[in-house]
Amino acid sequence: MKRRKLDNPTARKLRGGGIRQSRRLEMLCWHVDHLQANVRILRELADNIERVLGIKEANMSDKVFMAQNEITRANIHCSRVKPESTRTRGAAMYEYITEKNSLVDMNGVREIEAREDLREPESYYFARKSKQFREDFEMRQHNQPPEPVNNKSLFSDEHHAAVEAWKRKKGLNKKNM
């Protein structure tokens, strides 16, 4: 009798594109309103996934499928959170920041800086942090390699004239020196 191959519905759904091995949530987090909305969305997502896990009639692959649909739904809700993003997805505009000694993606930062509802006095933490960035930058400047030593300053001009006289002239070889 021929042995029958066991069916793996999870692998079948992965091959067919019904489910993926991982899902991502992209959340805006630069405004206080975003944080409140994200907390609500995450709580709702956790409740929905627990509800899916509690379904007795569904097999494992169906539970994974339903949970991934809930994650996709949460991602759609996250994309609708107000205020909207100031940058287009996938676009990057890198600038070199000397205080941090690194490249920073500045796409959308200028628009956020211009918003009036985000203006507030600089906190003590950030004032101390920016001072620390300046001090770190100055320390890095002190740790740079020294300037190369100019050998001409070690010897007199007469010595340099003698060395130049002994150097080969262009077009001369050992026979006609």
Please say whether the dihedral angle defined by the alpha carbons of residues 78, 79, 84 and 86, taken in this order, is positive or negative: positive
How far apart, in whole angstroms, are the C-alpha atoms of residue 116 and residue 85?
Answer: 16
Q: What are the pLDDT tens digits along the chain (177 aa)?
A: 677 677 788 888 888 888 888 888 989 888 888 999 999 999 999 999 999 999 999 888 899 999 999 999 999 999 899 988 777 777 778 888 888 788 888 887 778 778 777 777 666 666 667 777 777 777 777 666 666 656 555 566 676 677 677 666 666 666 655
pLDDT at 23: 87
How far apart, in whole angstroms, are the C-alpha atoms of residue 13 and residue 61?
Answer: 8
How far apart, in whole angstroms, are the C-alpha atoms of residue 109 and residue 103?
Answer: 14
This prediction has a pTM of 0.57
How far apart, in whole angstroms, are the C-alpha atoms of residue 105 and residue 130?
Answer: 19
Per-residue pLDDT of 40-85, as tens digits, reads 999 999 999 999 999 999 888 899 999 999 999 999 999 899 988 7
Residue whose C-alpha is closest to residue 71's, from 25, 37, 26? 25
